[in-house]
Amino acid sequence: MTQLNETTDIVIVGAGPTGLTAAVRLAQLGVPHVVLDAGAEPSRTSKAALVHASSLEVLAELGVAEALVDAGRRLHSIVMVDRGRVLVRVRLTELPTPFPYGLSVPQSTTEALLVERLARLGGSVRRRSRVDTVRAEGDRQVVEGTVDGAAFAIRARYVIGADGAHSAVRAAVGLDFPGQTYSAQFVLADIALGATQLRDDQATIVLSPQGVTVLGRLPSGNHRIIATVDADADVPEAPDRAYVDALRPYGGRTGVVVAVPDPPPGRRPLPGGCRVPRGRRGAHPQPGGGPGHEHRDRRCLRPRHPPRGGCRGRRA
């Protein structure tokens, strides 16, 4: 049955870090809104696991930073190494911010804390609600989709498209999404390492002729590894221990001794690339900064600005 009568000020499509951040801010401001997400449940994976100081500053305004910092692991420096030789050491402790470190924390934790905060402010996420399109009707936007197979339509003054890299909102409003794809694949793994020389409070970027490898410790004690492999390399979807052991990027390039659980959890190849909707470049408002994702416009999160830029506020 199609529900046609619902109205609100703002519909947020997507309950990832971006949509949840917008939702908490709107709830703080007392702006009526509805949050829709196609997923049946929140994300359970670590994905964007490094939260930078500027993101923590935004999260502090939302009342989430303290709990997030408690749940995370502080990384005080980022070191770039070339076959054992330190090329660059970036001391995050010298950043002029209340959060002079990078925070290692799974994205699922960030999202869970944002959902909790939203709930304390009286908000919630409507799950299994897939948006198919957005269309203008007079001075309103109509968001149409399905929830558990039943059609819905919600009228709103503004729509915030926070529905990720394959955004239905972006497609519906004809927003361009130009960008380039790196000529490499990135392999991500959260794994248990054996004894290492790595410092727990440091992210390490290892350069080598075989490519780049990034290592950093997660709050669980496991390490996050990101390594480039050839674009045409055949990476299995569910690799076994032998594949991960043989992965040259971290074994050969870093000399780190590893003990990998079988099967290794949380590893998957990502197409590399960084795409920003044209004319929407800005600071990261959300935990992000890695490959294969889009950046959004910080203005969406500022109370003095109406949703625009990376968000979508379209009038007929």
Ligand X SMILES: Cc1cc2nc3c(=O)[nH]c(=O)nc-3n(C[C@H](O)[C@H](O)[C@H](O)COP(=O)(O)OP(=O)(O)OC[C@H]3O[C@@H](n4cnc5c(N)ncnc54)[C@H](O)[C@@H]3O)c2cc1C
Residues that bind ligand X (CB under 6 A): 13-19, 36-39, 47-49, 107, 130-131, 162-164, 168, 188, 268, 270, 286, 288-290, 293
* Integer angstrom CA distances of residue 249 from 10, 50, 149, 196, 253: 45, 20, 44, 16, 5
- Closest contact distance (angstroms) between CB of 254 and ligand X is 17
* Integer angstrom CA distances of residue 280 from 5, 53, 176, 221, 274: 33, 21, 10, 37, 13
- Closest contact distance (angstroms) between CB of 46 and ligand X is 7
Q: What residues does 226 pair with on adjacent strands?
A: 188, 214
**What are the helix (H) ranges across 88-212?**
107-120, 168-172
Q: Please compute, for residue 48, the number of CA atoms within 13 A of its CA located in the half-sphere on the CB side.
A: 21
- Give the alpha-carbon dihedral of 291, 293, 298, 301, to 10 degrees: -130
User: Cβ closer to ligand X: 195 or 250?
Assistant: 250
User: Cβ closer to ligand X: 216 or 258?
Assistant: 216
Q: Select the residue whose beta carbon is closest to ligand X and give its number.
A: 16
The DSSP letter of residue 239 is: -
User: Cβ closer to ligand X: 36 or 256?
Assistant: 36
User: Cβ closer to ligand X: 50 or 65?
Assistant: 50
- Closest contact distance (angstroms) between CB of 44 and ligand X is 11
- Closest contact distance (angstroms) between CB of 85 and ligand X is 25
User: Cβ closer to ligand X: 85 or 166?
Assistant: 166
| CA–CA gap between residue 79 and residue 29 (Å, rounded) | 40
- Whether the upstream peptide bond of residue 249 has omega within 30° of 0, thus cis, is no
User: Cβ closer to ligand X: 26 or 49?
Assistant: 49
- Closest contact distance (angstroms) between CB of 15 and ligand X is 5
The token pair that represents 228 in the structure block: 């480039």
- Closest contact distance (angstroms) between CB of 131 and ligand X is 4
